[in-house]
């Protein structure tokens, strides 16, 4: 799937591919983990390059042309 972020098409910085798999990861902090409040941490969107598997992280959700 091809994505856009910040008004530009996302491309892999390693191999220049433009197709990615999208997933989400939690940004754990030591303070909230210590208190057992991991659920309160923010999430980030990751795009995994389908060619070289480089992972790019985004705080705002990248979107596709269909969205």
Q: How far apart are CA 58 and CA 46, in angstroms?
A: 6
How far apart are the two ends of the chain, measured CA to CA in Å? 12
29: its two tokens: 């902090």
pLDDT digits (tens, 9 = 90+) for 9-52: 999 999 999 999 999 987 767 775 667 776 666 789 999 999 99
Q: Which helix (H) or strand (E) holds 42?
A: none
pLDDT score for 40:
64
Residue boundaries of the structural domains of the chain: 4-58
For domain 4-58, give its CATH number from 3.40.50, 1.10.10, 2.60.40, 2.20.25.
2.20.25
Smallest CA-to-CA distance from 1 within 17, 24, 15 is with 17
């Amino acid at each position: 799937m091809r994505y856009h972020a910040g008004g530009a098409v996302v491309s892999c910085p390693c191999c220049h591919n433009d197709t990615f798999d999208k997933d989400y990861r939690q940004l754990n902090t030591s303070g909230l983990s210590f208190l057992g409040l991991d659920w309160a941490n923010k999430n980030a969107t990751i795009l995994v390059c389908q060619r070289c598997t480089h992972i790019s992280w985004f705080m705002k959700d990248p979107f596709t042309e269909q969205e």
